[in-house]
Amino acid sequence: MSKLRVHLFAGLAALALAGAAQAAAPAKPTPVASAQVPPLFAATLAKSKAFVDPQLRKTIDVPVPADAGGGYTHERHKDNYRLIYEAGMLYRQTGDKAYADLVRRVLLDYAKLYPSLPLHPKRANQVAGRLFWQVLNDSVWLVNSIQGYEAVMDAIPAADRATIEAGVFRPMAAFLSTGSAKTFDSIHNHGTWALAAVGMTGYAIGDEGLVKQALYGLDGSGKSGFYKQLQELFSPDGYYAEGPYYQRYALSPFLLLAQSIQRHDPSRKILDYRDGVLRKAVYATLQESYGGLLFPINDAIKDKGIDTPELVHGVAVTYAATKDPALLSIAIQQGSVVLSPEGREVAAAIARGEAKPFPFASIKLRDGAKGDKGALVVLRSGPKPKDQALVFKATSQGMGHGHFDKLSWMFYDAGQEVVTDYGSARFLNVEAKAGGRYLPENDSWAQQTVAHNTLVVDEKSQFGGDTDTGEAHWPTLLAFEAKDGVQMTAASIDEAWPGVRYRRAMALIDRKEVGRPIVLDLVRAEGAGKHRFDLPLHYDGQIVDSGLKVQGGISELKPLGKADGYQHLWDRGRAPVKDGARVSWFDRGRFYDYVFASGDVDQVVLTELGANDPNYNLRNERAFILRGDDRDSFTVAGVLEPHGAYSAAEEYARDTIASVKAVERVSENGADLVLIRLNSGKTLAIGVSWDADPTKQHRVTTSAGAYAWSGFSGLAEPAQ
């Protein structure tokens, strides 16, 4: 049994950051003999040289911006900031002035181009940049380029430095700050990138005014800026309001600006600010992953993982301060380090054999600046990479990138996502797909409630699909506990639909009676008047057995509904049910059985994604929906059991029969008892009282006798 809460490691050393902004002279390059370079650092160095060296004596194209994401000019300017950055880092590592000269030449060309640039011609519904279609990318360009420039300043003649700063860095900093004031002062990852770019530029070129803007906002009041972002965007546990995908992305500017402050303004201790919230954020992001990939919560690209450059940098900075050997195992997974002293330190420690396994564990990550806006809960069956993980999303809305998915869940097993979340509808940097932007289907499908594994009432998304309304309400976490082989979490929300109270309890159970971890899901909803209740379960795989008598969906397909995401679901058939049913599917060598008990479910609806999608923007994924019509309440108790193994190569199928035979739910005085009947003849009884008092005794009577337990939940025993 894993511990319920990971201990977020003490440590990031005090990064002293205070005093007046002034351009400190960069340290001289410190070339190291190749025999002294640790292997992982040497590999990163070689990879960087392979990118930069062929361009050392070429004329680098600095084109007039014309294309959206994925187009030539977009990708060229991205390559150029990478070139500036990596050439600068190579100069620091080797002392070869050819790298510094490359940075000088490219930046002089930008100094000629930039002052006359208008807003980007392919700007859309985002705030426009000049080099790129959205201002965010301009900020990223400056964050990278100012690092490369600062690394080579000592090797660039004063006259050229003056030209570069006057032609590129000062006007770009002005454009990103006063010229894009709404973005710069926003409490949002776009604002983080902008203020990091401006603040790092201020430190590099010795402009105290730019630094003040970055730290305290444009008006200097502290109502925006770096400190305010640290206060508002992270919870006390390091959870980032927009979710792990954007947490990964935003960590980079937060940490880079903190490093810049460390070098130039000692004594501010930014990484100790708010009890080391940035350190906690790095660990929290790593915990929000499975099999190397981040949980695809909110607007997330599903193949983004812990090997992204932002987390490579975050791990290096955090290790340099904490010396936590568990971070070294993450760096090994990442397969690279940054070209910096911190990166070299990580590589050296790995070479000395100091890496320890990272303690992936069950954890509650509170949401909200004060930790009072729900939580993301991860329940793990163990610390190994292929151990099961249940993710329960009881967080706040997550601003504009948030989805209407309160009390949804995902499940991972054997190294793969089993109960799935769609993530976002976007093909990042694929120009043919809306220039790499978010697609219309992100709004019409991916953000809608039915796209997630949570309750839908009257085929309407939570909060009417309105982000501002969603921001004003969040779930209440009711439980996060573990005892007797049962890890339990639960939450409730009363505002997702008018007049409807929605509660959900979920448990990861690892008991010898079953012999393998299983998931318990208990859903309760009560509403004034009659409603249609839908409970979707999105899965990867192929149904192999259900016992359902499915009708329709063979000779003709029709959309399941007209709005709120239903218009994108093909109705693949419906099966009437009474009191419960079983659905079994097979996926990548494993079998999954979902057994549920409910007198409120009238039918199981099979669906496939892809209706009303003329541009083929959606993946053809599958789900089944437990539907109850004309109900004033809706309760379901379900159990998911992973089991077995299959190999086509070796032609075997093992352990294909589930251990769970049936599920029964009995309620009394507001408490629920779930009886999990096993094929062995044994019964596992789990009680859920919905009462947080840990000492209170609860009792539910069944036809076979009474069961009792204490506290919110527990293993129920026959009452004496």
Amino acid (one-letter) located at 660: V
Instruction: Give the whole-angstrom CA distance, residue 192 versus residue 186.
Output: 8
Neighbours of 656 (CB within 10 A): 15
Report CA-CA distances (Å) from 423 to 209, 299, 301, 431, 604. 40, 6, 6, 20, 24
In the chain the first and final C-alpha atoms are separated, in Å, by: 29
Report CA-CA distances (Å) from 40 to 255, 306, 317, 322, 344. 22, 17, 16, 20, 8
Collapse the DSSP code of 23 into the 3-class scheme (helix H, G, I; strand E, B; otherwise coil) and give the result. Answer: coil
Residue 403 known to be catalytic: no
Active-site position among 77, 120, 401, 698: 401
Q: What is the DSSP letter of 300?
A: -
Edge-first strand listing for the sheet containing 705-710: 697-702, 705-710, 717-718
Closest C-alpha to 349, from 372, 377, 379, 329: 329
For residue 416, what are the β-bridge partners?
413
Instruction: Give the whole-angstrom CA distance, residue 686 versus residue 691.
Output: 14
**Cα angle vertex 257, ends 200, 301, to 5°?**
115
Instruction: Give the whole-angstrom CA distance, residue 461 versus residue 309.
Output: 35
Closest C-alpha to 401, from 460, 470, 450, 447: 447
Tokens of 545: 């057995």
Q: Phi and psi for 157 in degrees, rounded to 5?
A: -55, 150
Active-site position among 239, 246, 290, 438: 246
DSSP 150-180: HHHGGGS-HHHHHHHIIIIIHHHHHHHTGGG
Q: Phi and psi for 414 in degrees, rounded to 5?
A: 55, 35
Collapse the DSSP code of 2 into the 3-class scheme (helix H, G, I; strand E, B; otherwise coil) and give the result. Answer: coil
Q: Under 8 Å CB-to-CB from 14, ≥6 apart: which residues?
A: 269, 271, 272
Residue 283 known to be catalytic: no
Q: Please state the separation of Cα 518 from the chain's center in Å.
A: 24
446 by Cβ neighbours in 10 Å (0-12 / 13-18 / 19+) ranks as buried
Q: Please state the separation of Cα 449 from the chain's center in Å.
A: 18
Report CA-CA distances (Å) from 177 to 132, 172, 547. 16, 9, 62
Cα-atom radius of gyration of the chain, to the nearest Å? 27
Tokens of 183: 């973005």
Collapse the DSSP code of 312 into the 3-class scheme (helix H, G, I; strand E, B; otherwise coil) and give the result. Answer: helix
Catalytic residue numbers read: 246, 401
